[in-house]
């Protein structure tokens, strides 16, 4: 079932508590892109150089735990979005291994990988990515259509989640009838509709004013009660809600700091 609102996920741990679960693990992950034209084997034999390779990520290892918000920080081009995409199973790394819910997406068929992502990961984009022709409720229910959930269950689940994010009176409104903050809350509800263990958010407050962004971050704080949340952002207000901040620089992890609770 979808998560129920709580007063927040920050909890003090004791020696008797079980450690949090690793939801996704990246081991020595690199993502390499080729820039420009490769001269091919004949061209290289004639002394022409290879097309230059760009490391968006280089030998990155990270565990993402449940019941916590992990913030990814760093300047543009540092590798934040690439790492998010790899953790979410949207892209496969050039080198290294990812275990998402104890499965390696690289070993799965395209269809199985898509289903794993639908069942395990909820994604919140900066620009919302809502379908303009659909109501808020229909947008939230879309992932359940892909999973074959009945229409009645889809409607019930989507309505419950929209109520939880404060949009119970806007379920029939289309995106063009909603404010930016309301659209982002619809996007968060859509990310939660399959009850995923991992929620990924790329600059989730980038299009919002400060007060609306604060309201959205409060939702993420509640969501992280029983799941992993990873947020990539330049915004200090967003990073301030994180239990842990991983600083990226030129595709590598420059620092990894856990906040004292």
Question: Domains in the chain, ordered, with CATH?
Answer: 65-88+110-258 (3.40.50.300)
CA-to-CA distance for 163 and 152, rounded, in angstroms?
A: 17
CA pair distance 229, 184, nearest whole angstrom: 16
Question: CA geometry: angle at 235 spanning 81 and 127, to 5°?
Answer: 55
Confidence of residue 259 (pLDDT cuts 50, 70, 90): confident
Q: What is the pLDDT of residues 169-184, one digit of tens each?
A: 999 999 999 999 999 9
Q: What is the pTM of this model?
A: 0.85
The two three-digit tokens of residue 242, written as one number:
């994180």
pLDDT tens digits along 180-218: 999 999 999 999 999 999 999 999 998 899 999 999 999
Q: Which residues have a Cβ under 8 Å from the Cβ of 195 and sit 6 or more positions away?
A: 1, 2, 3
pLDDT class of 49 with cuts at 50, 70, 90: low
Provide the pLDDT for residue 11: 45
How many CA atoms lie within 13 Å of 30's alpha carbon, on the beta-carbon side? 9
């Amino acid at each position: 079932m979808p998560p129920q609102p709580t007063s927040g996920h920050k909890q003090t741990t004791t020696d008797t508590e079980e450690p949090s679960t690793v939801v996704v693990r990246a081991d020595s992950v690199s993502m390499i892109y080729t820039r420009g034209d490769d001269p091919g084997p004949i061209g290289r034999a004639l002394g022409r150089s290879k097309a230059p390779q760009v490391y968006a990520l280089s030998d990155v290892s990270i565990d993402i735990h449940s019941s916590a918000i992990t913030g990814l920080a760093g300047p543009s081009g540092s590798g934040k979005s690439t790492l998010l995409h790899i953790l979410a199973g949207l892209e496969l790394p050039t080198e290294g291994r990812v275990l998402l819910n104890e499965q390696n997406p690289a070993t799965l068929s395209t269809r199985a990988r898509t289903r794993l992502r639908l069942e395990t990961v909820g994604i919140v984009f900066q620009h919302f990515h809502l379908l303009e022709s659909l109501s808020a409720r229909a947008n939230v229910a879309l992932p359940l259509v892909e999973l074959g959930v009945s229409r009645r269950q889809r409607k019930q689940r989507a309505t419950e989640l929209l109520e939880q994010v404060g949009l119970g009176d806007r379920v029939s409104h289309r995106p063009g009838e909603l404010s930016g903050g309301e659209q982002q809350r619809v996007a968060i509800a859509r990310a939660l509709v399959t009850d995923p263990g991992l929620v990924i958010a790329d600059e989730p407050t980038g299009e919002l004013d400060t007060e609306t962004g604060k309201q959205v971050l409060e939702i993420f704080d509640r969501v992280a009660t029983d799941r992993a949340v990873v947020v990539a952002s330049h915004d200090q207000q967003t990073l301030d809600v994180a239990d842990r901040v991983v600083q990226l620089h030129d595709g590598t992890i420059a620092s990894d700091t856990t906040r004292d609770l």
